């Protein structure tokens, strides 16, 4: 993995422009003036909520950044433009994903049984609660317990 970035590859590569069709307000911050970046597509890049790479890849990204004009969309800059200049590739990792959505109620299973590494959906309060759970003996996935038989009944937890 010395030449790769592990991540969730961003499937939407189209460069958003002001005045080129209706956009929800939450996307306006991603609009790029044509004189700042020509073309229609970003290079393949990772969704910015999480990615991982080796120390040697970090060094190569840093060196590439020294010769790459700064760009305001961090994930496209680091894992797109700088990655290409550094000669690195992206590798999708199943634990770095946005789906299925992680809620606090199912987080214990997502991070133990399903090998999730990241979650973009939890707010600060839920992150603190999850952190407390992860760092106590109470953190477990009920589905890992299997079937419990008691006095003629079968229960699953």
Of 54, 72, 92, which closes a domain? 92
pLDDT of residue 151: 55
Q: Are residues 58 and 118 in the same domain?
A: no
pLDDT of residue 157: 46
Tell me the backbone φ, ψ of residue 22, rounded to 5 degrees: -70, 140
pLDDT of residue 4: 94
Supply the range of the domain harboring residue 150. Answer: 104-156
Helix (H/G/I), strand (E/B), else coil: 8? strand
113 is written with which tokens?
């049984």
Low-confidence stretches of the chain (pLDDT beneath 50) = 147-148, 150, 154-157
Residues with Cβ within 8 Å of residue 5, at least 6 apart in sequence: 46, 51, 52, 53, 57, 79, 83, 88, 89, 90, 91
pLDDT of residue 155: 47
pTM (two decimals): 0.76
Is 133 part of a structural domain of the chain?
A: yes
């Amino acid at each position: 993995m010395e030449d790769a970035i592990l991540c969730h590859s961003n499937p939407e590569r189209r460069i958003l422009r002001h005045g080129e069709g209706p956009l929800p307000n939450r996307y306006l911050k991603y609009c790029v003036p044509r004189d700042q970046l020509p073309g229609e597509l970003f290079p393949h890049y990772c969704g910015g909520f999480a990615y991982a790479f080796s120390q040697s890849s970090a060094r190569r990204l840093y060196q590439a950044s020294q010769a790459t004009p700064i760009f305001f969309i961090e994930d496209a800059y680091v894992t797109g433009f700088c990655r290409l200049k550094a000669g690195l590739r992206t590798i999708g990792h199943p634990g770095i994903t946005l789906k299925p959505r992680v809620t606090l109620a199912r987080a214990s299973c997502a991070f133990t049984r399903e090998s999730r590494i990241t979650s973009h959906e939890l707010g600060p309060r839920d992150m603190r609660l999850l952190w407390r759970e992860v760092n106590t003996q109470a953190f477990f996935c009920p589905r890992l317990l299997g079937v419990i038989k008691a006095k003629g009944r079968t229960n699953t937890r």
